[in-house]
Structure 1
């Protein structure tokens, strides 16, 4: 990425940036990152982390430089070093393996994901089959399905999936992945309730507050925008959903980018108004870097679009809380 040309910026018409808020880190992501940092401080490096602690390349790279080692299989974690479980949650078999090997296990699973795990186990214990609304192969979905015996949880990815489920006399319940599109999930739930009127659902929706808040802020900023930019990694489900939300809310174009360095700046050349947000695992400094570079191309007029205020903080895991 070349340095911005400040002189060129002064000669071009200004560009309005509708800056969505809330954006960026949520309480679960902050807790997970803090957990790895505190574990490194307490135990020293290396500290092993099962899966990427959160889905953001910058966060993972920074923690790796500090001494975190990211593994997909606990077999790659030695018995004499602590292992942190990622924010996305893990199947019961992974927890069982860590206990069998007597690993120092530190669980950074987001408390809102743990809520879904607990709901799933309660439904199974009550004799219900569980329908999980989510995306196949996402680590959170793998973790939730892994809370129950094989075959006890059925994945439902769309309204069409819901409509095609075979009739049954079995007691049913549904839970959802926490990072889904609020609007899309609402349609799937409606289809399930239409198909199975007696189905049990959560007392409070499973989609997390941060996902809902960020989507609402994007909706408020996207209508009529020439371009909407979401900063986040392609592996981040909630970031991908923000791009979809922007398009559905009326943005002419919407893109996901890791950072200013990888963004296609030609997209801004003809734009008069752009929206800007960041996924729940994207650091705020990436937003600042994007705005700084944009200000080198065009004079920037910031319009803050704030739809909620967040003040939630999750405590560190029990092993580190004291």
Structure 2
């Protein structure tokens, strides 16, 4: 256990927009077993060197330094995090720090049924599964893999194991799955899950994003209102990215409107890649290397000072800045060129956890 996990937390830090550091997205691998068109549309990528990938003990140590400065929620991401062997051991290590009150996992679900019991016994709190369609042929078209049945098996395993609060994340794409919104909500009801519809985001650069493909919050609500009747907006919960709504029968669902209605003003999240690069915003093009000082034996005080200084200087409002380009007609250009992505794999979604 690192020194940072046993001492009292320091005063919470805030950035230049008075946003606290509360939530850490910890990517455990950049590898994935799908090739979704909106995230990893190419078959081959430049991967992070394996010798640079942090051990679970190093991740525990870094998480402890973040907890010293106010982080109490950790989300394990990838790539596909379940590709990292023995992930339940990392959960156990992180939970040794009692200041971390929630550990969640975002997964594509393919390997979930095989590992869900170990994760539950390790103390994982919540599971989110990505599910963009209920049609096997569409799934194959979107992911270029024939794994739909295993994803459904993974979803079924969550409730059987004892987890509650299952969430299903759906990237809503106009012209692709915009005719499945009702079906996805009904599917979620069956598994006592909550769907979160995510507006298609223009991050990375390898994908074929365009504003015309974005199914907006307004369009989602209009379609669901036509089917279900009046929909009620629920009060906001902390800095959670999803705006939550309730159907007439009490069913709840969420919308993450990052593209049309950015929530930068309340964003309390930062991201550490599997090789220890720290990014303050999903749209950020530059990160800070935490692996080098960690492995060089930097003191806990030095590591905390690095993180504190980085967060206190944070000005990022990436989604708002991208939206501002709409007025000048520049938003449909790729955020980052493909050649630049090949030179620096950190710039893609699969490396920094989405």
TM-score, normalized by the shorter chain, greater than 0.5: no
Q: RCO (CA 8 Å, sep 6+): is it higher in 1 or 2?
A: 1
User: Radius of gyration: which is bigger?
Assistant: 1
Q: What is the TM-score of this pair, normalised by structure 2?
A: 0.29
Q: What is the TM-score of this pair, normalised by structure 1?
A: 0.31
Which structure is higher in helix share? 1
